[in-house]
Amino acid sequence: MKMQAEAALRPLIGEPLTDMWRYAGCQKSEFGVQRPAKNRQGEEITLAELGLVVSCDWRILGPEGCVVSSDDFGHGESRRDTHAHPFYELIHRAPPVVEEIKADDEGGLRIEMSAGYSLEVVPSLGIEPEDEQWRFIPGDKEQGHLVLWGDGLEAAERDLL
């Protein structure tokens, strides 16, 4: 699993983390140049070519410790991440660039970035096999997504994400 995940996420190396946002209880991190796009409602937005959608635990670590994590978001609209606003501003002004991808055999990820930042993804143990933990959305539109489910890693057909 480790080698498959590291190989699939290799396109992130050299790309900046340019946006982070939440939807439906998931955290999406976008890597690469933000380009004009339209959302499902037809509204103008920007979107990067590469994405990592995480529904398990995650955290951004910086030179001085944890910057923001899944623990900063409760159910529904509850947010406790005001302390992370300087980091959100940083990724729009001078985004950290991915330098290395590390995976483990349980599906955990550590994305090392410049300036001492990293994104860690910590899969949940003992969840249902059909529960999605994370999904890598590659830049190649013909390539399927790589998904970590509750029972392991698999390539998935491109779907509605």
pLDDT in tens, 86-106: 999 999 999 999 999 999 999
Q: What ranges in the chain are assigned the alpha helix state H? A: 2-9, 85-93
Give dist(CA 99, CA 65) in Å, integer: 19
Let me know if residue 74 belongs to a domain.
yes
Give dist(CA 145, CA 41) in Å, integer: 23
Cα–Cα distances in Å, from 52 out to 38, 73, 99?
19, 18, 16
**What pLDDT is stored for residue 151 in this prediction?**
84
Let me know if residue 161 belongs to a domain.
no
What residues pair up with 154 in beta bridges, in sequence order?
147
- Number of structural domains (the chain) is 1
Task: Give the model's confidence band at 118: pLDDT under 50 very low, under 70 low, under 90 confident, else very high.
Answer: very high
- Quote the pTM value: 0.90
> Chain-wide mean pLDDT for the chain?
90
Predicted confidence (pLDDT) at residue 77 exceeds the cutoff of 90: no
Task: Give the model's confidence band at 159: pLDDT under 50 very low, under 70 low, under 90 confident, else very high.
Answer: very low
Predicted confidence (pLDDT) at residue 44 exceeds the cutoff of 60: yes
Let me know if residue 65 belongs to a domain.
yes
Let me know if residue 38 belongs to a domain.
yes
Find the domain containing 34 and state its range: 2-156
Task: Give the model's confidence band at 154: pLDDT under 50 very low, under 70 low, under 90 confident, else very high.
Answer: confident
Tokens matching residue 55: 């529904």
Let me know if residue 18 belongs to a domain.
yes
Give dist(CA 146, CA 153) in Å, integer: 7
Q: What is the mean pLDDT of residues 59-77?
A: 90
Let me know if residue 35 belongs to a domain.
yes
Residue 58 · residue 120 · CB < 8 Å: yes
